[in-house]
Amino acid sequence: MSGGISKERLISLDTGFQVAKELKKNFYKVKISEPNNNLEKNVKKFKPDVIFNALHGQFGEDGYIQTILERFQIPYTHSGVISSAIAMDKEISKKIFIKHKINTPKFITYSFKKKNKNLISEINNKLKFPVVVKPLNEGSSVNVFICNKKNIFKILNSLKNYEKVMIEEFIAGREIQVAILGKKKLGAIELKPKRKFYDYQAKYNTNAKTQHIIKINLPKKKLNEVMAMAFKAHKIIGCKGVTRSDFKYYKNKFYLLEINTQPGMTKLSLVPEIAAHYKMSFIELIEWIINNASTKR
């Protein structure tokens, strides 16, 4: 199941295509379906043993489609309804990180219904400029901006289609991402984007020339620390299957930005790259995800 109506539709289609291609190559019977009015008809006709959820973004990894899939009582991949909804909501997930003493950048939220007239002074007091402005429920760095005092209201105005956005402390430093497979800490990767930060273009444009470093130049103790943080986040949110947690490393501290319950499976995706480094082929990774599928009840 891939595609959908989110801003990550093209990435989802690519993930679905890559997964289906690999499964067919290994003699699996596969049918790709959009999450539309034909989904139930396709499921009843095809009678799958497992539904591989290759959707990204809103309606695909926020608990919405998971609620629909549970009606079919057919095992589906990745996390269930509640954990998907929590992970996708940046405000709720960050509050959980804070409660469980997982270091994360400080933040405030901005509602377009209740505009904060003292926003600049609140940012100066709580966060300091520059800040990161992002929607609460998008993935793949969609509509994420680094803002200063001069352009913040212009950026906010461009995001007014969202009811609420997050304004987050900007953390400089290194981009570290960690993959978790169920109860296993799979591995980590460092990203060195040529762009200002690891944004949508840096993630999916082959011309962006983001450098991927698997053998991260960190002491073993620090590498174990970030892996443990990712595993803790995976566990406390109740995630299943595979997750990828995004960190910044600055002044000897790791900051968890967010946890992704349905990381991409495209040619530029990080989890397959991490898995390959640890001698886990793409088909082995996909089969692990499929074997981990459940009805989540």
Single-letter amino acid, residue 89: D
Annotation marks residue 204 as catalytic: yes
Among residues 244, 245, 249, 269, which one is catalytic?
244
Q: Report the SS3 class of residue 297.
A: coil
Annotation marks residue 141 as catalytic: no
Angle between helices 282-291 and 9-25 (to 10 degrees): 100
The residues, any chain, with a CB within 8 Å of residue 289's CB and separated by 6 or more, are: 52, 77, 78, 241, 242
Annotation marks residue 260 as catalytic: yes
The residues, any chain, with a CB within 8 Å of residue 198's CB and separated by 6 or more, are: 141, 175, 191, 210
Among residues 140, 141, 143, 269, which one is catalytic?
140
How do 184-192 and 145-147 pair as beta strands?
unpaired
228 in Cβ contact with 254 (< 8 Å): no
Among residues 76, 110, 198, 204, which one is catalytic?
204
How do 242-250 and 211-213 pair as beta strands?
unpaired
Annotation marks residue 140 as catalytic: yes
Selection from 194, 203, 289, 196 nearest residue 246 by Cα: 203
Q: What are the DSSP calls for 37-51, one per residue?
A: TTHHHHHHHH--S-B
Q: Classify residue 141 by its DSSP letter.
A: T
CA distance 244 to 259: 6
Among residues 93, 245, 260, 269, which one is catalytic?
260
Q: Would you please indicate which residues are annotated as catalytic (active-site) residues?
A: 8, 140, 204, 244, 246, 258, 260, 264
